[in-house]
């Protein structure tokens, strides 16, 4: 019977409580069993199981013992014991058959039981957590296939009930991000990086795009990565907000830093808190230098008050205010500045916390506006002067002509001859004035030809020295390669003469130096330039005289503007210069400071390389024999018409006269014989000279035509005529000139 196996010793070895039971009585037990059953060994030995273990029936203990003895199969029973002293415990009974009874091993498995329980509950809780999480949670195998995904993940990626499991993760990554994703996770798997974070645009199954930010954790078993866990979130809204913010910030910074306008933020006291780099170009200062300086302090005193007043208004009104202020550039020049001010209002308190300003340099614009105003004024004055001069010219022509006639009719010894001569002289002076006015208004007959301004200077230099007197030293410096221009040589002489005379007056009585220079200047093709780009020949006249103030400089070219005493200056000299230069396509610059002399520079555009297209004025026939013939005069100015009639009739011509083109045609149609010459004015009521000439070409092709005009630019006039060779007789003309020209025309049979 001796047990080959001592179960109790065995129990001790495995540290279970244990005992042997034969016939339902306790035959042996170890110390742990004593503790477990709570009674000493001697009381327990021989006791019935039901006595030793009061709960044995409930546990089904006795039945199990019977079955073990019966079939020899060991059994295990687990019992949950609620011990008031220590709380819930779990006990496991293992019952096995031994020789004549059973051995029972009892073990406290509470700890293990609890572990299992918590694991079960934990898993349950965890599952609940994952399923209801607001983030998408998924697990992917190393090949990139979804092994698990919670419902949110499916929703984020736009897959419905079919779920993500089995699908390929990369399919949901926008193609241009795939390489980055592959690289990132390949690296994570290779390096066993515990966690990574990545943001990528995901292509949902429905085609929409969302931005996803995901934390990925690797799962490692036996040194190998078996799967990747991801917690992913839809960050689309955040991304867009961030992007929009970043973009708009960048845009604003770009605008502020690159704008030519000066952008700034002022504190409530109007002091700079921020100012854009444009202040360097605009005011010649570094942004840092302006900080804490009141904006108003940059402005001229009276403008500063306007700025402060604007800020004061902004505190209540909150609309934008615009100020126009003068400022000083660091280099001393004046800068006109147009500034928009806007209050910055605190949304909560409603207080003005500062001002935003945008300041624009409008100096150049103002200068151009000023210049435009000036040019327009000159234009208007020119038109007025031209109109007056035109009528005046006709009157002078008549006065001059009839004076001539009168002079001729008075005998040489008659004292009244001297009186008539005075009338003639006064008329000549008046004619000079009108010519200057006409030059200014650009209505002078101009005969431009290719011209080297150097010749004008050298031709005139000797006369000039004599004209200007001992006190004035004349020095010339001429550019030998001076560009050829197209200009009327006579006019250019007048220009130089006028500049020289003004210089003399400016240097009187002390005298000084008059410098005449020529040079080429190239005008760049600047978009805001007032002058056509290209090469110009420049005639520069400088003196060492009194110079002029800005006011004088501004009005210099106005007709009748003079600072000279009555009777000395007419104020027409520079007006004429202006007219001639402008008519020749050029411009004048003036450089002068009071007390420092003056420099006036005439710029004329270089002529194209074209041939000499200007026609030399027809050489005047000096001695032309008198010849009869019929001449039709068409002229609306009665004085001129009567004068011409009188002079030509006295010369032996048959003269017909008409007051305009229509009457001239009527007269011609009524006239039986030939008409050798039609002498017509240009501007006439009803039908002008050009139309009349055309009518004559049709009706009386043999009649020669000549134009009388004191009015227009010869080029412009010729363009209105069908026959460019038509002779032009410039008003005012003397009787002698008229006779001379008419004779010459009638002797040139080819001219019509």
How many whole angstroms separate alpha carbon 400 and alpha carbon 205? 103
Nearest CB to Mg ion, comparing residues 252 and 560: 560
Verify binding: residue 543, ligand ADP, rule CB under 6 A.
yes
436 binds, among ligand ADP, Mg ion, none (CB under 5 to 8 A by kind): none
Segment (H or E) for 216: strand 209-221
CB of 507 to ligand ADP, least distance (A): 8
Binding region for Mg ion (CB under 5 A) out of 108-116, 144-152, 497-505, 719-727 = 497-505
Stretch that binds Mg ion, among 86-94, 318-326, 495-503, 539-547 (CB under 5 A): 495-503
Query: Which one of 12-20, 335-343, 487-495, 539-547 is the stretch in contact with ligand ADP (CB under 6 A)?
Result: 539-547
Question: Which of 150/498 has CB closer to Mg ion?
Answer: 498
Q: Which of residues 493-522 bind ligand ADP (CB under 6 A)?
A: 498, 502-503, 506
> Using CB under 6 A, which of 569, 667, 683, 720 touches ligand ADP?
569
Pull the structure tokens for residue 556.
């210099």
Report the residue from 159, 548, 601, 602 that binds ligand ADP according to the rule CB under 6 A: 548
Candidates 57, 564, 615, 620: give the one binding ligand ADP (CB under 6 A): 564
Min separation Cβ 546 and ligand ADP, Å: 6
Q: Which of the ranges 362-370, 457-465, 546-554, 572-580 carries the binding residues for Mg ion, by CB under 5 A?
A: 572-580
Burial of residue 3 (CB within 10 Å: 0-12, 13-18, 19+) is middle
Listing DSSP states for 639-673 in one string gives HHHHHHHHHHHHTT-EEEEESSHHHHHHHHHH--S
Which of 325, 491, 562, 582 forms a contact with ligand ADP (CB under 6 A)?
562
Name which of residues 18 to 47 contact ligand ADP (CB under 6 A): none
Q: Return the structure tokens found at 404.
A: 């001539």
- Indicate the Cα dihedral angle 180, 181, 184, 185, nearest 10°: -160
* Nearest distance from C-beta of residue 600 to ligand ADP, angstroms: 7
Query: In the complex with Mg ion, which residue's Cβ is closer, 337 or 437?
Result: 437
Q: Are 484 and 601 in contact (CB under 8 A)?
A: no
- Closer residue to ligand ADP (CB): 203 or 499: 499
Q: Which does 744 bind (CB under 5 to 8 A by kind): ligand ADP, Mg ion, none?
A: none
Question: Which residue's CB is nearer to Mg ion, number 33 or number 506?
Answer: 506
Contact 262, 278 (CB under 8 A): yes
Tell me: does residue 502 bind Mg ion (CB under 5 A): yes
Q: How far is the CB of 572 from Mg ion (least distance, A)?
A: 8
Contact 384, 559 (CB under 8 A): no
Residue 217 near residue 139 (C-beta atoms within 8 A): no
Assess whether the previous peptide bond of 505 is cis (omega < 30° from 0): no
Minimum CB distance to ligand ADP smaller for 229 or for 561: 561
Instruction: For residues 689 and 721, give the distance between their C-alpha atoms in angstroms, rounded to a whole number.
Output: 9
Residue numbers 584-603 binding ligand ADP by CB under 6 A: 598
- Residue pair 517/486 in contact by the 8 Å Cβ criterion: no
Cα–Cα distances in angstroms (integers) from residue 699 to residues 259, 310, 708, 715, 720, in the given order: 70, 76, 21, 27, 19
- When binding is defined by CB under 6 A, the residue of 19, 354, 401, 573 that contacts ligand ADP is 573
- How many Å is the Cα radius of gyration of the chain? 59
Contact partners, residue 129, CB within 8 Å, separation at least 6: none
- Cα(47)–Cα(40) distance, integer angstroms: 12
Q: Which is nearer to ligand ADP, 497 or 695 (CB)?
A: 497
Q: Please select the residue that binds ligand ADP; options are 570, 630, 654, 720, rule is CB under 6 A.
A: 570
How far is 656 from 491, CA to CA, in rounded Å? 36
Half-sphere exposure of 395 (CA within 13 A, CB side): 9
Nearest distance from residue 512's CB to ligand ADP, in Å? 10
Contacted by 545, from Mg ion, ligand ADP, none: CB < 5 to 8 Å by type: ligand ADP
Between CA 30 and CA 32 the distance in angstroms is 6
556 binds, among ligand ADP, Mg ion, none (CB under 5 to 8 A by kind): ligand ADP
Among the listed residues 445, 480, 450, the one whose alpha carbon sits nearest the alpha carbon of residue 583: 445
* Position 630 contacts ligand ADP (CB under 6 A): no
Nearest distance from residue 713's CB to ligand ADP, in Å?
Answer: 21
Closest residue to ligand ADP using C-beta atoms: 573
| Residue 535 CA to its chain's centroid (Å) | 30
Residue 307 CA to residue 338 CA, distance in Å, equals 11
Q: If binding means CB under 6 A, how many residues of this protein chain bind ligand ADP?
A: 22
Tell me if residue 473 falls in helix, strand or coil: strand
Q: Which among Mg ion, ligand ADP, none contacts residue 163 (Cβ within 5 to 8 A by kind)?
A: none
CA 35, 38, 39, 45 torsion-angle sign: negative
* Shortest Å, Cβ 637 to Mg ion: 31
Q: Residues 573, 629, 710, 727: which binds Mg ion (CB under 5 A)? A: 573
Helical pair 416-440 and 573-583, crossing angle rounded to 10 deg:
50
> Among residues 562 and 688, whose Cβ is nearest to ligand ADP?
562
Beta partners for residue 221, in sequence order: 224
Q: Which is closer to ligand ADP, CB of 299 or CB of 514?
A: 514
Considering Cα of 715, then 720, then 723, then 728, what sign does the dihedral take?
A: negative
How far is the C-alpha of 424 from the C-alpha of 114, rounded, in Å? 141
Of the pair 429, 616, the CB lying nearest ligand ADP is at 429
- The residues of the shown chain that bind ligand ADP, judged by CB under 6 A, are 498, 502-503, 506, 543, 545-548, 552, 556, 561-564, 569-571, 573-575, 598
- The residues of the shown chain that bind Mg ion, judged by CB under 5 A, are 502, 573
């Amino acid at each position: 019977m001796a047990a080959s196996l001592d179960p109790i010793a065995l129990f001790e070895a495995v540290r279970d409580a244990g005992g042997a039971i034969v016939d339902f009585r306790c035959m042996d037990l170890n110390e742990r069993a004593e503790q477990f059953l709570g009674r000493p060994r001697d009381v327990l030995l021989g006791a019935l199981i039901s006595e030793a273990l009061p709960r044995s029936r409930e546990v089904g203990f006795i039945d199990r013992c019977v079955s073990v003895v019966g079939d020899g199969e060991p059994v295990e029973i687990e019992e949950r014991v609620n011990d008031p002293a220590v709380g819930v415990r779990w006990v496991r009974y293992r019952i096995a058959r031994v020789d004549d009874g059973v051995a029972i091993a009892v073990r406290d498995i509470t700890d293990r039981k609890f572990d299992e329980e918590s694991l079960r509950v934990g898993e349950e809780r965890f599952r609940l957590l994952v399923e209801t999480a607001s983030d998408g949670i998924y697990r992917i195998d190393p090949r990139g296939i979804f092994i698990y995904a919670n419902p949110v993940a499916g929703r984020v990626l736009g897959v419905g009930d079919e779920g993500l499991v089995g699908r390929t993760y990369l399919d949901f990554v926008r193609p241009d991000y795939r390489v980055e994703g592959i690289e990132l996770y390949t690296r994570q798997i290779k390096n066993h990086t515990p966690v990574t974070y990545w943001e990528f645009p995901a292509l949902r199954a429905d085609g929409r795009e969302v931005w996803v930010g995901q934390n990925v954790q690797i799962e490692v078993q036996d040194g190998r990565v078996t799967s990747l866990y991801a917690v992913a979130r839809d960050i689309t809204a955040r991304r867009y907000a961030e992007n929009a913010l970043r973009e708009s910030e960048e845009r604003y910074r770009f605008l502020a830093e690159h704008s030519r306008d000066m952008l700034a933020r002022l504190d409530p006291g109007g002091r700079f808190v921020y100012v854009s780099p444009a202040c360097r170009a605009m005011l010649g200062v570094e942004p840092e230098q302006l900080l804490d300086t009141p904006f108003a302090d940059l402005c001229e005193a009276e403008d500063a008050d306007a700025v402060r007043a604007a800020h004061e208004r902004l505190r209540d009104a909150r609309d934008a205010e615009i100020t126009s202020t003068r400022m000083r550039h660091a280099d001393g020049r004046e800068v006109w500045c147009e500034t928009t001010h806007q209050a910055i209002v605190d949304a909560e308190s409603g207080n003005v916390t500062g001002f935003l300003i945008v300041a624009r340099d409008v100096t150049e614009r103002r200068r151009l506006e000023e210049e435009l105003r000036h040019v327009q004024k000159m234009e208007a004055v020119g038109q007025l002067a031209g109109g007056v001069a035109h009528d005046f010219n006709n009157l002078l022509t008549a006065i001059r002509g009839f004076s001539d006639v009168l002079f001729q009719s008075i005998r040489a010894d008659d004292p009244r001859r001297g009186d008539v001569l005075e009338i003639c002289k006064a008329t000549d002076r008046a004619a000079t004035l009108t010519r200057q006015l006409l030059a200014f208004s650009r209505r002078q007959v101009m005969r431009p030809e290719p011209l080297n301004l150097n010749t004008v200077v050298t031709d005139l230099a000797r006369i000039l020295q004599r004209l200007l007197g001992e006190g004035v030293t004349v020095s010339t410096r001429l550019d030998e390669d001076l560009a050829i221009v197209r200009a009327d040589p006579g006019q250019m002489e007048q220009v130089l003469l006028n500049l020289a005379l003004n210089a003399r007056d400016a240097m009187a009585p002390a005298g000084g130096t008059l410098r005449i220079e020529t040079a080429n200047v190239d005008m760049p093709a600047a978009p805001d330039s007032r002058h056509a780009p290209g090469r110009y020949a420049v005639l520069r006249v400088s003196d060492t005289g009194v110079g002029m103030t800005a006011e004088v400089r501004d009005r210099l070219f106005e007709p009748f503007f003079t600072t000279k005493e009555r009777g000395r200056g007419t104020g027409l000299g520079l007006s004429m210069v202006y007219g001639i230069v402008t008519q020749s396509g050029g411009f004048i610059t003036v450089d002068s400071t009071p007390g420092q002399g003056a420099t006036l520079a005439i710029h004329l555009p270089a002529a194209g390389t074209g041939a000499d297209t200007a026609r030399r004025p027809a050489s005047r026939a000096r001695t032309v024999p008198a010849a009869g013939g019929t001449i039709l005069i068409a002229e609306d100015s009665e004085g001129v018409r009567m004068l011409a009639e009188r002079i030509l009739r006295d010369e032996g011509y048959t003269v017909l006269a008409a007051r305009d083109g229509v009457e001239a045609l009527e007269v011609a149609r009524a006239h039986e014989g030939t008409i050798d010459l039609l002498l017509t004015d240009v501007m006439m009521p009803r039908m002008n000279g050009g139309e009349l000439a055309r009518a004559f070409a049709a009706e009386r092709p043999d009649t020669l035509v000549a134009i009388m005009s004191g009015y227009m630019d010869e080029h412009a006039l010729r363009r209105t005529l069908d026959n460019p060779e038509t002779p032009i007789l410039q008003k005012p003309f003397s009787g002698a000139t008229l006779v001379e020209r008419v004779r010459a025309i009638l002797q040139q049979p080819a001219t019509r």
